[in-house]
Amino acid sequence: MKIGVLALQGAVAEHIRSINQTGAEGVPVKKVEQLEELDGLIIPGGESTTIGKLMRKYSFIEPIRNFSAQGKPIFGTCAGLIVLAKDIAGGEEPHLALMDIQVARNAFGRQRESFETDLPVKGMEKPVRAVFIRAPLILETGEGVEVLSTYKNEIVTARQGHLLAASYHPELTEDYALHQYFADMVKDTQAAVKL
């Protein structure tokens, strides 16, 4: 099972390390052609506007939308969540516009307001160690979007079918439970395709 990490910006190596811990193979994705050999894709944190610009520059937008249209799982963390969203508060143009959520950028304040917490996530036995760095928030969810966790009554983890989004950085801890959750999503998709 091969899970790619979009390697345009952000904590790529850390995501790959976490994926490898699940038993799947993590690969950095720098070329559009690589998408064809992947079973799942992670869009990491970084700066969403920059990632969006680079995705346009290297023609990733349509190929990733096609990847999603095949039902292949995509996981967006921090800025990756913003990249997945259909609606960005404040009028910024959406990037992939795949997930039926409205998001607010930097909702948790500046870099110095970063923090770590143990976050209970629906469907997981133990809380996930979550690192919030200039994190976005999910303001609204459309039909078919399941809220998996909240922090202080704000939505920070959600799933819509084969799409998973988290406001925080699960890859910056030794806890790879959320990556395992995503790897299981990929496994389930593969099993469904074989039926």
Indicate if 169 belongs to the active site: yes
Nearest-angstrom CA–CA distance, 125 and 117: 16
Indicate if 95 belongs to the active site: no
Indicate if 14 belongs to the active site: no
Distance spanning both ends of the chain, measured CA to CA:
17
Do the bridges between strand 154-160 and strand 163-166 make them parallel or antiparallel, or are there none, so unpaired? Answer: antiparallel
Residue with tokens 């607010």, as numbered in its chain? 104
Choosing from 15, 78, 95, 162, the catalytic residue is 78
Choosing from 15, 162, 169, 179, the catalytic residue is 169
Residues 6+ positions from 113 with CB-CB distance below 8 Å: none
Nearest alpha-carbon partner for 113 in 143, 81, 64, 152:
152
Nearest alpha-carbon partner for 157 in 171, 178, 174:
178
Residue type, 46: G
Active site residue ranges: 78, 169, 171
